[in-house]
Each structure stands twice: as structure tokens, then as C-alpha cells.
Amino acid sequence: MTTQHIIFDGNEAAAYVAYKTNEVCAIYPITPSSTMGELADQWTTEGRKNIWDNVPVVVEMQSEGGAAGAVHGALQTGALSTTFTASQGLLLMIPNMYKIAGELTSTVFHVAARSLATQGLSIFGDHSDVMAVRSTGFALLASGSVQEAHDLALVAQATTLEARIPFVHFFDGFRTSHEVNKITLLSDDDIMAMIPDDLVLAHRARGLNPDHPFIRGTAQNPDVYFQGRETVNSFYRDTPGIVQAKMDQFTSLTGRRYSLFEYHGHPEAERVIVIMGSGAETVRETVDFLQQSGDKVGVAQVRLYRPFSAEHFMQVLPATTKAIAVLDRSKDPAANGEPLYVDVVTALSEALSDGNLPWAALPRVVGGRYGLSSKEFTPAMVKGIYEELSNSAPKNHFTIGIQDDLTHTSLDYDPEFVIEPDTTVRAMFFGLGADGTVSANKNSIKIIGEDPRFYAQGYFVYDSKKSGSQTVSHLRFGPEPIRSTYLVQSANFIGCHQFNFLESADVLARAAPGATFLLNSPHGPDKVWETLPRVVQQQIIDKQLSLYVIDAYKVARDAGMGTRINTIMQTCFFAVSNVLPRDEAIAKIKDTIRKTYLKKGEEVVRKNFQAVDETLANLHAVTIPTQAASSITRREIVPANAPDFVRNVTALMMDGRGDELPVSMLPNDGTYPSGTAAWEKRNISMFVPVWEPDICIQCGNCGLVCPHSVIRSKFYDKSSLKSAPSSFKSAALSGRGFPDVYYTLQVYVEDCTGCTLCVEVCPAKSKEKSGVKAINMRPKDPDLEPERNNIAFFQDLPDNDRGRIDFSTVRGVQYLQPLFEFSGACAGCGETPYLKLLSQLFGDRLLIANATGCSSIYGGNLPTTPWAVNQEGRGPVWSNSLFEDNAEFGLGFQLTAEKHRAVAYQLLQEMRSTLGADFVDDILSATQDEESEIRAQRARVNELKQRLDKLNDETATRLLSLADQLVRRSVWLVGGDGWAYDIGAGGLDHVLSMDRDVNVLVLDTEVYSNTGGQMSKSTPLAAVAKFAVGGKIVGKKDLALQAISYGHVYVARVALGANPQQTLLAFREAETFKGPSLILAYSPCIAHGINMEHGLRQQKLAVESGYWPLMRYNPDLRRDERNPFMLDSPRPTIPLKDYAYKELRYDILRRTNPDQADLLMKLAQENVNLKWRVYEEMATRGDPQYHFAKPN
Amino acid sequence: MDMRTTYMGMKLKHPIIASASPLSEEVDNIKRMEDAGASAVVMFSLFEEQLRHESAALEHFMSYGTNSYAEALSYFPAVEEYHAGPERYLDILRRASESVDIPIIGSLNGITDEGWIDYAKNMEQAGARGIELNIYYIPADINISGQEVERRYVDIAKHVKASVSIPVAFKLSAYFSSVGHLAKQLDEAGVDALVLFNRFWQPDFDIEQREIVHSLDLSRSGQIRLRLLWIALLYGRVKASLGATTGVYSHVEVVKYLMAGADAVMTTSALLKHGISFLTTLHDQLKQWMQENEYGSVAQMKGSMSQQHVANPTAYERANYIKILESYKSTYAL
């Protein structure tokens, strides 16, 4: 049989084997493992079969705990079952893992190992999660590369069936899970040879079966539990041997050799690194290099970490070993060493103790931490560790790759040490997410990797913003397999796909001397040089780079491809890099285009072909002058007046230099300042809204819908305009009685994402030109400088007095300062307008518990965050605990508020005589529903604090610490539907069942948006999502009715784009309602497959079709014996399909399976009809039906 | 009673055809049209421009946001294949052709030569018994002459005729300086039928919102006169069959069209208004009227009021216009 090579990433490599060797798969999406489950689901849809010629079952559960439970059940009934997870997901599986292992159940969990949430969440890779399950009884098998992830997935599966010990097979999140590499594909024959039928049948026979009844899962008493635990010892003793035997069998089948511990390096090495995971690849590469200069160094790569076979470990260490560094990609802050280090020390100590030490003396052993959260781990660091081991007293418990200036754990190393071989092409591409750079590079890797002469590797770095995000692609091509598990350090090709990056990023920092530099430039070959920043010019000259330019956007526009320049830049890469002969490469690009797009419509093929054909004519070499003469400098990251933390810490992160920050500069408990997004002027849109004061009717709609808080309004006295810049726009405030009051609507142009929702919603049109509204998109650059001055002037205008503002109207709300601003959410995000509104209405007394998801990422992902502070120094406090616990977490906020308020009341009473009875009574009896009442109470509390401050009294001090609680706090539990409908549903239900004053805001996108569009229980019938490829066949859970069933919960369903006034009313009612409140907010999302500028229209259509009936259920009315259920939208006026088929999530099914689409749409329409009838019936019930016995 | 007619070379059991409308987007509806007595069905139009737009739009939305953000490298399940081209149309056409006995005529609106030709071939392969070219072209560029427009029409007719072996009908608008001459050219190009006339979408304004309103009103029976005029004029002068469309709400319009010279009469608006079963009503009304008026066959009626056959042929020309004005005077003048 011929060997088949294929381009896979680590996730696909592992999932491929898991799918082939299992019958049941239960998963839950979590980065970076989501892809494995998605692929498995996709393959079932395609009818792909496992090695037993049947299509496995793949189910998406409500949480990882649920997935583990389902896997456990499937295993217990004899099915071969698996799951894929990472990080907190693995932690949620722990209870089941103990059970599964305790019952000696054969399974493999495939884990893309990821950091755990500690002082902050991180989606990136390290071993914190797998280390947290090392006591569950699961075996832990580590893969260090994409090929290994493929191969060891099979070894794990083969072993578990024989050994009966369940396995976690893990590989490094992102570094391996997302690295694409050329690997050798396992054949079905090889897989079948490793999975003998008798073991499969034995597994099946152990399953629960009423025809051979027994019970498993008893409760045991002190008399036998202990002994029962000891029954499994022999299985753990035997497992390493079985693993090795399976590895040997694997070698005989494939030629690829693996062992439990694999030594690589000098046979007489004196210094040895012990490591597992992808870092081992880098150490091996470095060892090979260092050996060339005579260094006696080696590396012992750990593959089977649990059960840890000290015997096998000791066998691989050279007899000459004098010093060992054990590297852990995790941190165990309270232990006397990280896990692998402790295991190695224990192994050596036991050998010494038992008299089995193969050396005359115990080698010196030190432990070190590296690579947490995908921190780079480079040959330079490896060399630094070996150098440290040369010292007579090497540092123990060291760190490498960071600068620890606080506890001085870090080792020094020479970052200039680079060992990338010249035989490998190293290419870096700087692009935007939206320009398709990464897609094109993945494509190039396939094209080159399919050539038998080449191996290929790709790794992609994304930034943390969802709009205007930058990507950096690191590609390597060469004649040998590529094992460098670190970013390209010395690139001989650099592609910069966005001209403006040259001003904001050091694009050429990693350019090798003589490298080729391809630049997408609006300036032609004759003009481009003078438009480059001086530092770039100097780098080009110093490094003797060849420069090529193309105006890719022009070529794309001409080909009708909009801003997708991917094919064009890819063609340029092949044209100037000479990786493949030019004509051959272009033929392959076209072939790929044809394969990719032909089944998706000829038009896309045609446009791409046109783009390829026109590229070469527009690609030009640039003659490089001998001297840099440009006066253009890179712009400052943040202005000089930014706070110290922003200048010293945040700015470095913004500049892509966060790696340089030493430990001492970072907060030690995860606390960061609010409002840092305001310092990051991202300038991601070339077009921004421009206000027309003469047309504007000052309605406030544009500001209300703006997802990025870019549009602000203030009114002010006319006299303020005396010092205004000449470009500052204003208009007399509309409305009678304010002759000298003026109004300005200011656009923060540098923060705009160009979504155009403001223009869409604007109701005011020019009488002369119907296409011109009161706000219109215009090119930004001409007005940028004047607008900066205007913004500065606008910011200095006093904020409008919240006591004078009408909170009940959209027109009034526009004057409330948003305390949620400039987030990194997608352009046109449907969620953020709700959060902004929340911050405007209640921001100065707002506490937010935010479930993990999109809102926690755009709300709290460094470097800059959007929750801000007002001129009084007050603002929302925000925290994210986990995904699953947010309702409980937020409830805790409220419990504190209630408790501290009660204590404050008690202390006030105690100090009654000191403070004055009237004053105390005023505070205690104050109503705090309306803003004016809140402000009055705030004044009283300020007065109280001043009085307390003057008292030298213990009670006064205690009261002073709680006085702020006397102003009613507004506790909001915020999250998406993945939280509220699925993983957090149990907690949310419980919190709603309690009569506590919490407010829940569900930003309902009807899909897992943050992890890429997986189905939730909120996903509607007939819509397509991941795990519902054939369209969701059951209806969405009606969370409103579920909450209403309690009777005491305020419930509202809102859609800002359909009825902003109803949204506003619901927010205010929910907040003042003294009990639990639930608001379900329709949130358009790019996962709906819509042009986001139509998000508001879609909300209207959703309401008009009856799919999203606007309603409020107010228990206060019920207490007054009135019908609490209010239907706020009229009867459906359009069929569901008129709304749904404007969204790709529905429409795509018509194009893949029209019959199914027709069927599901009919069912969905019936669902809508039925639901409407229920709602209408509830809304029209007579008041007498609500005559309840009133609660005490 | 012989109600048979020949249209585009196809022998139909009677002249009433269900013309292009959203109703034919579902195969079930096409079956119901057959059950209700339609002698043929013209499918809804396949718009090349729309397909091109959809193809690009689908790819855009499927790939929007992909490979941009580490946690969500895509937002939709991977779909190897979806119908952004004519597949859906052809699938309905194919299934309809297989499930009914009456002829199914494809309707095509192209924008490029390759679009016209390729899609026409696709329709033929999918089982269409004929193709109606539904040209929807507004020469908004004021540099384009009437001759150029006519040449474009005739070229399209020639290209499609040369690429398929099934009959081809040409649905044209009335907005030509010399409709008759264009009809003659198309006839010479070999088209098998001329359908008179399609109704252009014409913009309307919402004066409150100051927006252009996109809507198409149902046709009215009064709109048949222009069609009557040209069918009556062309009858006997072209080899191509003549199809009449627009304004058919009862047997009266059917009879008028037939008398003018139409070989087939098409109806859409009435079906949208009254439902598919109205085809039965229309057929029965026609039959009854013919019985009452002692017509033995449709052939007997066909062209009886054409310019060739009326007592006063000039009634179709300008003199007629003057006469109407005079009659108005006589009725309303003091």
C-alpha cells in the first residue's frame, strides 16, 4: 500500500483516529479542542464510517460535565466512546473521570491542553488542565507534534482496550492542535491491526446488559472501600508495558518508532532536559544543533506521563548524566515543585533509596517552568537552560521565557540565538482577519505540501479583537519534516498585506538578511519608497531586502472581490518566493480555486481566476535607494497623558511587546484598571459616520444602536461654543424652552468600526437629496485631524446632569454617558448596544457578573477593556468567573450587597444619636427607584461619609467601609445563550427561583458565537449550526415561559432594533423590580450569516413574523391582581420565511437539502403559530384570573 | 368542442397556460396546476444576475469572520457543496417534468452570452419542453441606441436557438420604436414564439420615507389592450407562435386574445389572486362561452379579430386614435 501524506492540524490528526475507532462521541465546544468535535460531527453528516463500517453517533451536550456523563453511560453499556475537550472542560469532567477509571473502563479522551483560568482566563496552551486530572486514574499520554497526535491517538486507543485503564491523550493547545503540518496518514488497515476485535468484544461484553444482569456503581462502606481501591494496582503496573508493546506493534506497521520515554542526543550527555509535549521538538532540534559544536547534551521526551514508569524512565537517561532540568508547562504554586519535576525527583530518590541508581552519584535535578499560555519556547531558551545546567549550582524552580524581576526565578538567555536552517523557507504574513490572509496561507501550505518534494508547516497568530483583528502567519517549507514548534524567527519572506501596519507594527523585525518583502501598497513602485516610515526604510537597506509592491485592493475591486485580497497576495507570494516554479504554482492555485469553489457557484471561481490573472501585471519590483530619507515615524501607541499603567503596561501589550513585560509590572491578583479601551485608537474603518446638524432631529437613535459607543450626544449652554474648534458642529437643541441650549452629536471616528447601523437607523432625510440622512458614511482621513480636536473639545464639555435627563425615552438616554465603550466586538455586534444601554442607565452603581463567552472576551480580554469610569470616578465593576457558574457568581454579588446593606442599616441605627435621628431615617427610608432618588441618596451618603470621617470611632469606621452600599446597587448577570440555555441553565434556574434582587441579561445570539457557531438550546428550529448541519429539528427552549412559571420573576423579551422604547422600558422595569428579573435580548450575530448592517432590520422582521414576540411579565401587576403578561408586539404580519431566509443560517439548508428545508420551515412556522396563540391567550386572560392570595 | 392549440410547435389540449410566477417555485404547485387543467406551465424565471450575486454573497457570508479570531476560525459547519448556481431551479424543473404530463417551459433571464446559452442547455437537459427567454433589460445608459438594444435581443435569440433543440419563445416588452420590426427580426432569427408583453418593474416612491418602493402590482384586465393591438397586428405576419400574457382575469380576456390571434394565453395574476384552482374556472368559462357562442374550435376563433381579418384594418392604426378622441367629444362635450 502506498503511503499517503496529508496536511492536517493536530486536532484533525487526533480526531481522525478517534472517529475511526469509536461508536459514540459526546462533546461540548471549548477552545482549542472544538474543532475535533466539529469534524466528527461533519464526518457523520457526510456519512463517513469508522473501521467497523458504521457511522458513529456524535452528540453535543450542555456542558463538558454532560459530555463526560454521556460518554460514561455509553461506555458502561458497551459502546466504544470518546470525547474531546480542554481546560475548564476537562475539569468539569473530573467527577466522571474518577468513576470511569475506578470502573476500569476503556476510553480515550483527546485533550488539546490549555491553561486554566486563574488570575485571568487564557485560551492558549499549556499543561495546567491535564495536570489537574493526574490523580483521576486516567493514563496520560503526551503527543508533541501533529504526526504524534495522529499516531499516539491510536496507540492510546489500542492500549486502553487491553489495559482497561482509560487514557487522556493530550497535545499542546494551539501549538499542536492548530499547527498545520504534513503528516503520514494512518491507513484503515493499520488502524484495524491495532484494534483487535476480541478486545472490542470484551469491552462490549463488560457493558450493562439485562440478559446478563449485574450492578456497577454501588455505595461502599469502610469495611471494603479501601480494599476495593487496591484491586486495580496490577492494571496500573501493567499499563506502561502494554503501551510500549502497542508502540512497538505500531512501529512494525508504520515504521514510526515511539517509546514511553524517548532519549535523543549525545550518547554521553552530561546535561539532560526532561520534557513532554511540543516543547520536546524544539529541544530535540536544539540538541542536534548544539551537538555539532560538541556539547554533550540530550533530551528525554516523556510520552507516557501516567502511570509514571520510573523503571523505564531510568533506562533512557545516559549513564553520563550529571545534571537534569525537568521542564513543566504548568504551575503548581503551592507545591514544592511542578508535577513532572516531582515525579522525576521521586523516581531518582526511589532508585537511590532502593540501591538501583545507575550512577555513582545522584545527578543534580532542577525543575523549571516554561511556555505557560502558549508563551514561546525557542532554541535560545533551550540553550539558556543547558548553560544553566553547566553551573555548579543551577537555579532550581526556575522560569524561562519571561523576566521575573520580583522573585528572580527566570533564567537569562540570548534571544539572538537562532538555528533555523537555510534549507527551510521561512515566511511571515501580516494580514487582517477580514482580508483572508490566513485562509490563503492554509491554501498555500496545501499546495506546497502536496508536492512530494516538500514538507510544510503553518502556524497562525491571531489578536484578541473580533473586529479589525490582525493575523500573523508563520509558514515553513522544506525538504525535511519540519519540527520547529516555535514562531518563525528569521524570515526570508515577509508579506505585509496591509500598508498601514508599517506604522503600527514592526513588520520587518524578523526579516532575515536578503529576505524578500512583499507589500500591499496603494502606492506604485515609483512612489512607495517615500511613503514608508524611516525605520522601515532603514531596515530594508540594512538587511538588503528585495521589495515588491502590488495594489491588491485595486486588483480585488477590479475583479469584483471587494476587500478579499487573499488570492491576489497568495499569487504574489508564489510569483516572487520561487518556492515552486511560477507557472506551476499558478496552475495549482487555480486548480485549488476550482476545487474549492466550483460546487459553490461559478461566479466565485470566475472572480478568483480574474484576480489571479491580473495579479502578475500589477506586481512590481521596487528599486531601493541607498539612504533612508523619510520623515514618517511610527505613531505613538498611547498619548503622553495616559495613566502610568496604560503607558507602561497596556501600551506594550497593544504594541505586541507584552512578552517584554517583567513580572513586577503585572498585577498579582488579576485586577486591572477600567476603561483602557479609550486609549487604544484602532482606526480600523476607512469610512465613518458624519453628522449633518441641519438635517438631524436629535432623536438619539444612532447613538442607541451604535455597538461601539462611538456616537455621543451632549447639550450645553451656547456660551460654551466660544472656545470650540472651527470644525466643531452644533445645532440649537430641539424642543421649546431652551433658546440658548445647543446640541452636538460627536462621532469618535478613530474608534468606529464602520458598521453603518447608525445610518441604517437614522430616520431623518434631506429634503433635497433623499439619499442623504442626518448621519452618513464618509471617508475618514480628510476629517481625522479636525475630528480629533472636536472630540477633545466635546470630552471637555461637562457631562449632562443625570438628574435632568429623561431616562424613559431614547431621546433622553442619548445624553447618558456610555460606560461601555470601544470594545473589540465584531463590527455591527448585536449584543453590545444592550450592554452600553445598561451602562448608561445604571453604570455608576452597576455590578456585572459576566459568563464566559463573547461578552467576556470583548468585555475583558487584554490588552484593553471597555468598561469605563465617569467624570465622578464611578463606573461599572465587572468580573468573569467561569462559563457555567455565572448565575451563582452574580448571586454572590447580590448577597454581599444585601448583607452589607443590612449591616450598614444596623450600624446606622447604632449611631442614631451621634448622626441625628432624622438624618438616619432619611437614609433608611429613602426610595431609590428613580435616578433623582438615587442621586438624592448619594448626596445623603456623601454627607454621611463626611460626618463619619470626622469621627474617631470604631463603629464609624466600620460604617464608613459600608456606606457606599446605602446607595442601591444594580446587580446584573450577563451572558449568552450558551450560558443561559445550556451550561449555566441549572444555576440560572436556581437563582431565578430565589426571591433575590438580581437582574439577568441574556444576549441571545441563538448559537455559541464565541467558539464559532455551535448549536445551543436556543438555536431555532430549521436553522443550521455546527452540530445541526441538517437544520435543527427541535424548537428553541422558551426560557421566558420557563421563568414565568415561577410567578415571581420579572421577564421580558426585547429586540432593540424592533422596538427600542420597549427595550428601554423593560430594562428600567427589571432594574427597579424587587426580585429576580430576566431579559432575553435578541442579538444579531455574524454567525447568523447576515450583513451586519441589516441587524436592525432582521430584528424587526423577527418580531413582525411572530418569531420573537416582544413581551413583559411583571409580577408587580400580578400582586395588584392584574394580568402581568403584556404582549408588546402586534400579531404576525409576515410569514416566518420572509424573516428567516434573509439569513444564511436558514437559507443554507435550502441550498444543501431543499426538501429538509421545506419540511423544517413548515414545522418552524407551525411552532411560531402555536407559540403566538399561547402568548396571545396569556395576554388576554382577564385580570380575575390573577386573584392570588397576596404574599406576606 | 376542439379546444386544442399549437404553441411553439407543441400541441396543447387548450390555450390556457400558467405563466411564470412564484407559484411554480414548488413542484407541488406545478402538479396542482396540471390537476387544475393548465395546458402547460412556464416556470418562474431563472435570473442569471441573481445567481451570480447569490454565489458571491453565499461565499462571502460563509467565509465572513473566518480565520480571524483564535476561538472561532469559522462560524458555519463546513459545507462541501451547496446550490448557489442554477441547481435548485433545475432540480425543480427536473422533478416537475418527471411528475406531470403537461409541458414545462423554462424561463430564463440572462445577462451574459454564456449565461443565456449555458442555462438554456441546462434547462433542456433537465427536461424543459421549451424555453421562454424573459429579457429584462433597461437601457439606463443613454448612450445606447435603440438599434443596439434590438441587436442585442436578436443576438441572444440566435445564440440560444443555436444551442438548444427545444423550441424557444421570446418574451419582449412593448417599449420599442417598432415592435413589429423587432418581432420580425426575432421571427427571422428562428424563435418559435413571441410572448407579448412582459411588464417591467417600474419604481414607485414612498413620499413619507422618501424611498424607492420595490413592488410589482398584479396586472389589471385593462392592460390587455396594448397586447391585443400587437397580437392582432402580428397575427399572420410571423411564423412564430403568439403568446399573450397580462391581464387575464376571466374567459373574456382569453377570448379576446385568441380572437386577436394568440396561440396561447397565459395567466399569473389571477392565479396569485384567486389560487391555482382558478385555472379550472377559466377553462370552464372559456368552454362555456364557446358553446354558448357556437364555436366548434379554438382554431375557428383564433385571429378572427386580427388586423388581417377585421372589416376595417385601419382600426388598428392611428385613425382609430383620432376616432376615439372624437367619440369622447361627442359623449362629453356640451
Q: What is the DSSP string of B77-94?
A: ---S----STHHHHHHHH
Tell me the pLDDT of chain A averaged across its residues: 96
Nearest CB to B67; choose among A439, A604, A1148: A439
**A with B: how many residue pairs have Cβ under 8 Å apart?**
148
**Tell me, what amino acid is at A555?**
V
A1108 near A1082, Cβ under 8 Å? yes
Cell match 485595486: residue? A554
State which of A525-529, A1150-1154, B18-22 shows the largest mean pLDDT.
Answer: A525-529
The 3-state secondary structure of A68-127, one letter per residue = HHHHHHHHHCCCCEEEEECHHHHHHHHHHHHHHHHCCCCCEEEEEECCCCCCCCCCCCCC
Cell match 491588491: residue? A552
Q: What is the pLDDT of residue B110?
A: 85
B270 near B278, Cβ under 8 Å? yes
- Banded model confidence at residue A624, pLDDT cuts 50, 70, 90: very high
- CA nearest neighbour of A13 among A183, A167, A142, A169: A183
Region A819-824 average pLDDT:
97
Q: What is the pLDDT of residue A435?
A: 87
CA dihedral B94, B95, B96, B99 (to 10 degrees): 120
Q: Do B55 and A601 touch (CB under 8 A)?
A: yes
Q: Do B77 and A1025 touch (CB under 8 A)?
A: yes
Of residues A562 and B242, the one with the higher pLDDT is B242
pLDDT over 70 at A104, yes or no: yes
Q: Do A442 and B84 touch (CB under 8 A)?
A: no
Chain A CB contacts of B56 below 8 Å: 560, 601, 603-604, 607
Nearest residue in chain A measured CA to CA from B50: A603
Rounded Cα distance, A733 and A737, in Å: 10
3-state secondary structure of A35: helix
Which three cell numbers, joined as nine digits, stand for A988? 440560572
Q: What is the pLDDT of residue B331?
A: 39
Region A24-50 average pLDDT:
97
Rounded Cα distance, A566 and A497, in Å: 9
Of residues A606 and A43, the one with the higher pLDDT is A43
- The pLDDT tens digits of the residues spanning A709-744 come to 999 999 999 999 999 999 999 999 997 788 899 999
3-state secondary structure of A372: helix
- Banded model confidence at residue A526, pLDDT cuts 50, 70, 90: very high
A437 is catalytic: no
- Banded model confidence at residue A975, pLDDT cuts 50, 70, 90: very high
3-state secondary structure of A632: coil
Rounded Cα distance, A891 and A998, in Å: 7
What pairs with residue A495 in β-bridges? A429, A518
Q: What is the pLDDT of residue B138?
A: 81
Q: What is the pLDDT of residue B115?
A: 85
Q: What is the pLDDT of residue B330?
A: 39
Q: What is the pLDDT of residue B60?
A: 86
A31 is catalytic: yes
Chain B CB contacts of A857 below 8 Å: 71
Of A44, A105, A615, A1010, catalytic: A1010
Tell me, rounded to whole angstroms, the distance of Cα A1014 from its chain centroid.
14
A263 near A300, Cβ under 8 Å? yes
Q: DSSP per residue over A52-68, as a string?
A: TSSPPEEEE-SSHHHHH
pTM score: 0.93
Chain A CB contacts of B79 below 8 Å: 1029, 1148, 1152
Q: DSSP per residue over A1049-1079, as a string?
A: -EEEEE-TTT-HHHHHHHHHHHHHSSS-EEE
Region A52-56 average pLDDT:
98
Q: Do A1152 and B65 touch (CB under 8 A)?
A: no
Of A11, A21, A22, A31, catalytic: A31
- The pLDDT tens digits of the residues spanning A850-887 come to 999 999 999 999 999 999 999 999 999 999 999 999 99
pLDDT over 80 at A2, yes or no: no
Which three cell numbers, joined as nine digits, stand for A984? 449555566
> A1187, exposed or middle or buried, with CB in 10 Å at 0-12, 13-18, 19+?
exposed
Chain A CB contacts of B67 below 8 Å: 433, 436-439, 442, 460, 471
Q: What is the pLDDT of residue B327?
A: 46
Of A23, A60, A64, A680, catalytic: A64
Region A694-721 average pLDDT:
97
CA distances from A1185 to A1046, A1112, A1115, A1171, B262 (A): 16, 18, 14, 20, 67
Q: Do B56 and A607 touch (CB under 8 A)?
A: yes
pLDDT over 90 at A195, yes or no: yes
Q: Give the single-character DSSP code of A543.
A: T
Nearest CB to A1144; choose among B62, B68, B83: B62
Region A68-85 average pLDDT:
98
Tell me, rounded to whole angstroms, the distance of Cα A366 from its chain centroid.
35
pLDDT over 90 at A71, yes or no: yes
Rounded Cα distance, A64 and A70, in Å: 10
Rounded to 5 degrees, φ, ψ at A942 are -60, -45
| Closest CA of chain A from B28, distance in Å | 12
Which three cell numbers, joined as nine digits, stand for A1013? 457557531
Rounded Cα distance, A122 and A438, in Å: 22
- The pLDDT tens digits of the residues spanning A661-674 come to 999 999 999 999 99
Q: What is the pLDDT of residue A596?
A: 82
Q: What is the pLDDT of residue B199?
A: 78
Q: What is the pLDDT of residue B318?
A: 56
Q: Do A1144 and B79 touch (CB under 8 A)?
A: no
Which residues, 6 or more positions from B166, have their beta carbon under 8 angstroms from its beta carbon?
A: B124, B128, B129, B130, B131
- Find out whether the peptide bond into A863 is cis, omega within 30 degrees of 0: yes
The count of residues in chain B is 334
Q: What is the pLDDT of residue A1188?
A: 58
Q: Do A603 and B60 touch (CB under 8 A)?
A: no
Q: Do B55 and A603 touch (CB under 8 A)?
A: yes
- CA nearest neighbour of A975 among A880, A1066, A1070: A880
Which residues, 6 or more positions from A248, have their beta carbon under 8 angstroms from its beta carbon?
A: none
Buried b (16+ CB within 10 A) or exposed e, A282-321: bbbbbbbbbeeeebbbbbbbbbbbbbbbbebbbebbbebb
Q: What is the pLDDT of residue A994?
A: 96
A317 near A356, Cβ under 8 Å? no
Q: Report the percent of chain A where pLDDT is more than 70.
A: 99
Nearest residue in chain B measured CA to CA from A1090: B61
The low-confidence residues of chain B, meaning pLDDT below 50, are 319-320, 323-334
Rounded Cα distance, A677 and A858, in Å: 10
pLDDT over 90 at A978, yes or no: yes
Rounded Cα distance, A724 and A741, in Å: 15
Rounded Cα distance, A302 and A328, in Å: 11
Q: What is the pLDDT of residue B332?
A: 39
